[in-house]
Structure formats: C-alpha cells, structure tokens
C-alpha cells in the first residue's frame, strides 16, 4: 500500500482547484496594523481518477454549552456519484478528535466494499499534515493515529489531501444532518440537502473563499 501526499502522483487531477482573483486593497485594521490584501480563491471539489474512490469527511463541535458534536462523510466515484454517506452524533470532544472519528468511520465503511485506490480528503489541515508526514505535532491520541494508518493500509493505494471547507460541503452538510436525521445511506439515496451539494460538485460549481494576507514590506 502506498500512501502519498496531495502533490504527488496524480495530484493535478485530484487536488482542489484554486484560482486567484485580483482584488482591491482594503484599509488596515488600525494605525499600527500593517495593511493587507484579501486573496480570493475559488475552490471546487474534484472527482477521483477512474477506478478510484474518494472519501470526504468532516467533524463538527459546538461550543455553545449544548455538548453537541457530530461526524459526517461521503464516498464518491469518479463521476461524483455518492456510493455511501454517513452522519451521526458523537461524544463531545476536541475538534481534532472528532475529525479523526469521522475519518475512521469513513475508512471502515469504505473498507467494507472497496480495497482499491482511495483519495482521502478533509478540511482539518493539522490531521492531513500529520498523516502525510508534514507535521509531527498531533491533536489526537497515538492510538487513534495508529488506527487510521492501519485502516489506510487496507487499500491498494491511498492519497491523503487537504481541501478548504468550501470544497468539503457535502461532508459538512452531513454533519448538520446528524442532529436531524442520523444514519448511513447507500446507492445514491441521501437527504435532499446533501444531494443538492453533491449535484453542485458533479457540475463543477466553485465556491469563493476569502483569505486575508498581510502586505509584503
């Protein structure tokens, strides 16, 4: 099993497509703050190569005193069709641990019917960097890290990569569905809100993300 970072192998066909759009200068926050330019990028979900599947996962933690947390994810083919989706509440914890739970749950579901090439994509940059060897600091227990690595090894090849939340909307909406309609859906039968986001992804709809960058001196 080969596990590679997002930029390796077939990265151009799988990595999120980001296009920078020039923007006007905004005023600085205060007299002492350096001026900055907003950077607008367009983010879209990309289907995996033919013969591969892609797992998008997400974890949600509420800090409003409700004690709510949830996980969600979807496994799709090279045409963007949802093969399996899941959404369920989970025990309240840190964002890092909840994100890891979502990934573990998604990998277990994928492993149940597929052992080929798998693209794993989430918006938790820290977790992705840990799994691709770019970072050694972790927000999850060693046991969870080892479980994820062991699950990844069940696939013939895997590629773990980061995507901004704007390109991870199917998994994000599934996290919300966990509070209203938890479950596992198969054969393309998913809640309407999830279906709408999946359809946008199939049609290549791009979503704007604004990143603030300080002006270089």
For every residue of 35-102, DSSP letters joined together read PEEEEEEEEE--PPPTT-EEEEEEEEE--SSS--EEEEEEEE-TT--EEEEEEEE-----HHHHHHHH
CA torsion angle for 97, 139, 15, 158 (degrees, to 10)?
Answer: -70
pLDDT at 1: 57
What is the spatial distance between Cα 62 and Cα 148, in angstroms, rounded to a whole number?
Answer: 24
74 occurs within a structural domain = yes
171-193 core/surface letters (b: 16 or more CB in 10 A; e: else): bbbbbbbbeeebeebeeeebbeb
How distant, in Å, are the alpha carbons of 16, 34, 122 from that of 108? 24, 47, 16
Residue 209 burial class via C-beta count within 10 angstroms: exposed 0-12, middle 13-18, buried 19 and up: middle
pLDDT at 214: 52
30 occurs within a structural domain = no
How distant, in Å, are the alpha carbons of 35, 52, 123, 182 from that of 28? 4, 46, 29, 45
159 occurs within a structural domain = yes
What is the spatial distance between Cα 187 and Cα 197, in angstroms, rounded to a whole number?
Answer: 16
Tokens encoding 78: 């090279």
27 occurs within a structural domain = no
36 occurs within a structural domain = no
216 occurs within a structural domain = no
Largest Cα–Cα distance in the chain?
Answer: 59
Residue 52: domain span:
2-14+46-205
Per-residue pLDDT of the chain (217 residues; tens, 9 = 90+): 555 544 333 333 333 333 333 333 434 444 455 555 678 899 999 999 999 999 999 999 988 878 899 999 999 999 999 999 999 999 999 999 999 999 999 999 999 999 999 999 999 999 999 999 998 888 999 999 999 999 999 999 999 999 999 999 999 999 999 999 999 999 889 999 999 999 999 999 999 998 876 544 4
Give me the residue label for tokens 């979807």.
Answer: 74
State how many domains the chain has.
Answer: 1
Q: How far is CA 104 from the centre of its chain?
A: 13
Which DSSP state fits 215?
P
76 occurs within a structural domain = yes
Do 102 and 73 form a contact (C-beta atoms < 8 A)?
yes
CATH code of the domain covering residue 75 = 3.30.420.10
198 occurs within a structural domain = yes
């Amino acid at each position: 099993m080969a596990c590679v970072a997002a930029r390796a192998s077939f990265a151009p066909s799988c990595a999120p497509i980001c296009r920078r759009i020039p923007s006007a200068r905004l005023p600085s926050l205060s007299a002492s703050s350096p001026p900055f330019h907003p950077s607008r990028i367009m983010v879209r979900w990309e289907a995996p190569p033919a013969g591969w599947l892609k797992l998008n996962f997400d974890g949600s933690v509420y800090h409003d005193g409700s004690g709510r947390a949830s996980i969600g994810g979807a496994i799709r083919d090279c045409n963007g069709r949802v093969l399996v989706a899941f959404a369920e509440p989970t025990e309240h914890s840190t964002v890092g641990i909840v994100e890891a739970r979502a990934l573990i749950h998604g990998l277990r579901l994928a492993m149940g019917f597929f052992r080929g090439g798998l693209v794993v994509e989430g918006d938790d940059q820290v977790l992705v960097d840990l799994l691709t060897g770019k970072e050694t600091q972790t927000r999850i227990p060693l046991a969870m890290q080892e479980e994820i690595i062991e699950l990844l090894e069940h696939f013939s090849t895997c590629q773990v990569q980061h995507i901004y939340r704007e390109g991870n909307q199917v998994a994000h909406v599934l996290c919300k569905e966990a509070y209203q309609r938890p479950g596992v859906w198969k054969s393309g039968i998913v809640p309407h809100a999830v279906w709408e986001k999946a359809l946008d992804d199939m049609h290549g709809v791009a979503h704007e993300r604004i990143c603030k960058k300080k002006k270089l001196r």
